[in-house]
Structure 1
């Protein structure tokens, strides 16, 4: 059963990022249960405000992050995101180095 990792695993590198999101522009799919694709980890960066990151059953855990903080998102673990104070966030995507994926 997954918990929220404290850090990105070794051997992963960033390969992309989302646009910045605010409470008004955060897509509904991110506010409801969703996962990253196989092999893709992510880092949720809080630029302003505060968010709540919550794992979906059967996993347990939640983490709040404020401006300047980040949350590690494990590949394929269902979760959701909600603003608890107005602000801006973005998601950075990671994959294993030399995975051969373009």
Structure 2
């Protein structure tokens, strides 16, 4: 089963593009999004390891590239990223309108 944002979720925020040199430390450590907030990790260049490490989910790792689907961040699920060499990526945040 593929997990993704609900079909009625809409983008409301986008981070700037980050590189291996300026990725915020918070993204490299375990963190989560708030309830109701989904994220899409979009790699523009290079490779990024996306790790889901939450007790409510099986631990998983995926290598994201410009040719793969974005990494899907579920609300409140702990995750982190790790650059694999030269990389450029951003995160799009989505939620269901109220």
Runs of 4+ in 1 over 3 A off after TM superposition: none
- Equivalent in 5, 13, 18 of residue 16 of structure 1: 13
CA deviation vs aligned residue, 1:28-76 (integer Å, no higher than 9, x gap): 1100000011110010000000001101142311111112431111111
Structure 1 counterpart of 2:60 = 61
Pairwise CA distance, 1:84: 1.3
| Contact 1:4 1:74 (C-alpha < 8 Å) held by counterparts | no
Structure 1 counterpart of 2:29 = 32
User: What TM-score do the two structures reach when normalised by structure 1?
Assistant: 0.85
> How many residue pairs end up in the alignment?
95
Structure 1 unaligned residues grouped into runs of 5+? none
User: What TM-score do the two structures reach when normalised by structure 2?
Assistant: 0.88
Structure 2 unaligned residues grouped into runs of 5+? none
